[in-house]
Structure 1
Amino acid sequence: MGDLLTKPEFLNPLLLSLKVSLISSVIVFLIGIGIAWVMTTKRVKGKTLLETIFLLPMVLPPTVIGFILLVLVGRKTWFGRLVERIFDHSFIFSWWAAVAAAVVVSFPLVYQSLKAGFQSIERELQDSARSMGANEWQVLLHITMPLAWRALVTGYVLGFARGLGEFGATLMVAGNIPGRTQTIPTGIYFAVDSGNTSLAWLLSGATIAISFIMLLFTGKLKGTS
C-alpha cells in the first residue's frame, strides 16, 4: 500500500480534488458573502422563495444537480458553445465542470453559516456606522465581517470540505478521466469497482484526514472567546 502513495492513481485525484476544492470554496465564499449580506440587510421581494431555491441543493440528489448543470452549461447551450469557441475544448468533462458542481452543492452550507453570522451582529452597530457616513461596502468590510469572522471561517471550511467530498454531480458533468477530471470521490468509486481496495483505502483516508483537521480547526475557533 505504501508504494501507492507516490503513484499517479493516488496523487492525481488528491491534487485535483484539493485544487477543485480550493477554487470552488473561494468562489462560493465570495458569492455567499454577497447574497447573505443582501438577504440579511435588505427587504427582498420573494425572500422565502429565493432562500428555498438556495437551499435546494442540500436536499436534491446530486445526480439531479448534475443533470441540471448539464442542461445549463452543456455543449448545446450558449455558455457551452462560447467556452468551446474561446478555449477550444468543452466545459463539460473538464476540471472546471467539477468546480461548478462543487460550488452548487456547497452553497447551501456556506450560505447558512454566513447568514447566521451576519444576523448575529447587532443592527445598531451597523446603523451607527451608516449614520457616520459609511456606505454599505464599508459597513460590510469594517463592521460586519470582522465581528462575524468565526462564521466566515466556518462557512469557508464547510464549503471546502463539501467540495472535497462531492461525487454525484461531479461525475455527471466532469466524468472520471484519470489525470484530468478524476477527483478523490470518483477515484474511490472506480477503485472499489475494479477491486483495488488498497487505493480506495488510501483515498478515503486522505479525505477523512483533511476533513477532520479542518472541522477540528473550526471547532476550536468556536470554543475560543
Structure 2
Amino acid sequence: MMNSLDFWSPVILSLRVALLAGTAAFVCAIWAVWRMTIRKFPGLTVIETLFMLPLVLPPTVVGFLLLVIFGRRSWVGQAFETLFNMPIVFTWGAAVIAASVVAFPLAYQTLKAGFTSIDRDLLAVGRSMGASEFQLLCFVILPLARRSLLTAFILAFTRSLGEFGATLMLAGNIPGRTQTLPTAIYIAVDTNDLSSAWLWAGLMVLMSFVLLLCARISAERE
C-alpha cells in the first residue's frame, strides 16, 4: 500500500510545476501578443505559426526538440551546468520548461482574442495624448482584457498540470524529484497499481474540471 508521502509527492510537485509553468507561459504570452498587435510587420504570420506549433506537434517531438536545446551536449545546457554546477535535464526545473512551452500557445491565442477585441479608437486617443505603448498596455489594454487574462492563466495552468510527453523526455520520471501526476499515473497503470492510478486520475479530473469551469464562466462573461 502506498504511503501518504508517496501519494502526495507527485501532486505537490505537479501543482508547483503548473504554477510556475503557467505563470511563465502567461507572462511570455502577454509580451508576445503585445508586440504582435502593436503593428504589422513582415513575417508576422510565420512567427505566430511557430508560436502555435507546440499545440499541434506530438508532445514527444516537443520534448525531443527541448532535449536538443537544453541537453548536456547543447551550449545552453553546458552554460547552465557551468554556472550552476548542475544540468537542466532530469530536474523539476526541466518539467517547468517543458510544461510552459506546451502551455504557451493556449495562453497566446486566448490573450490575442482579448487584446484584439479592444476598441482601436481608445488606443489611438491614448497615443494622441502622449501615452507610450507600454503605458497603453498597463493602463488600457490589460484592464480592459482582464477576463481574457484570467482565462489565459487558467488554461495555461491546467495545460501545464496535465503535461506528460515533453515532461517525460526532458525531466524524466524520478520519484520525489521529477515525477508529476501524469507520469505517476502512467507508472501506476504500468505496474498494475490501479488504486493509486484511480486516486490520482480522479484528483486530476476534479482539479481540471473546476479550473476549466472557472475559465468557461470567465469567457462567457467577456
State the TM-score, normalized to the length of structure 1: 0.95
Measure the CA separation in 1 of the matches of 2:140 and 2:169. 41
Q: How many residues align?
A: 222
1:110-189 paired onto structure 2 within 5 Å: 110-189=107-186
Measure the CA separation in 2 of the matches of 1:64 and 1:100. 15
**Selected match of 1:213 from 203, 210, 213:** 210
2:58 aligns to what? 61
SS in 2 for 1:195: coil
The reply on whether 1:96 has 2:103 as its aligned counterpart is: no
**Residues 83, 89 of structure 1: 8 Å contact kept:** yes
Measure the CA separation in 2 of the matches of 1:26 and 1:167. 18
Which amino acid is the alignment partner of residue 141 of structure 1?
A: C
1:183-202 paired onto structure 2 within 5 Å: 183-202=180-199
Measure the CA separation in 2 of the matches of 1:171 and 1:223. 35
Q: Which consecutive residues of structure 1, in runs of 5 or more, have no partner in the other structure?
A: none
**Selected match of 1:78 from 66, 75, 78:** 75
**Deviating runs (4+, > 6 A) in structure 1?**
none
**Residues 126, 136 of structure 2: 8 Å contact kept:** yes
CA positional deviation for 1:110? 0.6
Measure the CA separation in 2 of the matches of 1:35 and 1:222. 21
Q: Which consecutive residues of structure 2, in runs of 5 or more, have no partner in the other structure?
A: none
**Residues 99, 163 of structure 2: 8 Å contact kept:** yes
**Residues 13, 183 of structure 1: 8 Å contact kept:** yes
Which amino acid is the alignment partner of residue 97 of structure 1?
A: A
SS in 2 for 1:181: coil
Measure the CA separation in 1 of the matches of 2:202 and 2:85. 37
**Residues 150, 215 of structure 2: 8 Å contact kept:** yes
2:32 aligns to what? 35
**Residues 10, 202 of structure 1: 8 Å contact kept:** no
State the TM-score, normalized to the length of structure 2: 0.96
**Residues 29, 156 of structure 1: 8 Å contact kept:** yes
